[in-house]
Structure 1
Amino acid sequence: MEFDDAQIEDLDAIIALRRRAFEKITPSHYSPAEVENLLNDYDRAQFSKMIRDRRLFCYKKGTKLYGTAGWEGSAIRHVYVDPDQFGVGIGSNLIEHTILDFKKRTGCERMTAGVIIYARGFYEKSGFNVVAKKKAWDGSEFYEMSRPLK
């Protein structure tokens, strides 16, 4: 699988992908109010900065976007996969690509993640360990996770 740096013209597709992924899975794990907060709790400026800094990556086939992942500070961020493509390796390969870029550019030996409840197992398969279960500003729960980098 090959990944590209996200481009500013990908921004609307990235946000739409994020929404599709959350709409597919979050209703079975969170209250309707929490789902609404998750759907609307994003910052276009943050995405734009990550794109400008070449810290957000995409997996595309042709012009269709199937996955994204990136990093900010020491945290992996914005790991989204098209719900119709769950289970084919896009997310785990994006995580590995992101970790390699992070380690190469920063030299850090640990990466963190704030993980939505239903994604815990996915992150554990990618080598992350639970540090703590926390509550977000809206009362929804998430896991703080960490992974040592080799």
Structure 2
Amino acid sequence: MLTHTDAKLFSCKECSKSFKTSYLLKNHIMYSHGETFGQLSHLKCHILTHTGEKPFSCKECSKGFSTRYSLNYHMYSHTGEKLFSCIVCKKKFHSPSSLKTHMTVHTEERPFSCEECNKSFKCRPALKRHMVTHKRDRPFFL
């Protein structure tokens, strides 16, 4: 039925152009935005970032993922398995990002800076907590 209408249901998130089919959208992304990939599978994964499709679902929590790799990686959150180890203290983590955040414990690195007072923090949540001190409306009283 879509063939007989002018409905364009597939939109490019880069330039907002719309297309009748996902195939036309995929071609547009590949050629119009200069995306080139060595393998077709890499292109398909990239296209999913533009279309928002998440064809792989977790059977435990129904969360959707754009790649099978992402789904497999997510499954470790259900098994409790910790694959990423700190080379300094041997503590283990579920994800590379958690390990990266932990590594700041062993360094003086403070990559998150307050734009108000230039105070620096090791992690984003600490900066967010600090930002409350600059607000006039404080949510809690002592």
User: What is the TM-score of this pair, normalised by structure 1?
Assistant: 0.20
Q: Which has the larger radius of gyration?
A: 2
- Which structure is richer in relative contact order (CA contacts within 8 A, separation 6 or more)? 1
Q: Relative to total residues, which structure has the larger strand share, 1 or 2?
A: 1
User: What is the TM-score of this pair, normalised by structure 2?
Assistant: 0.20
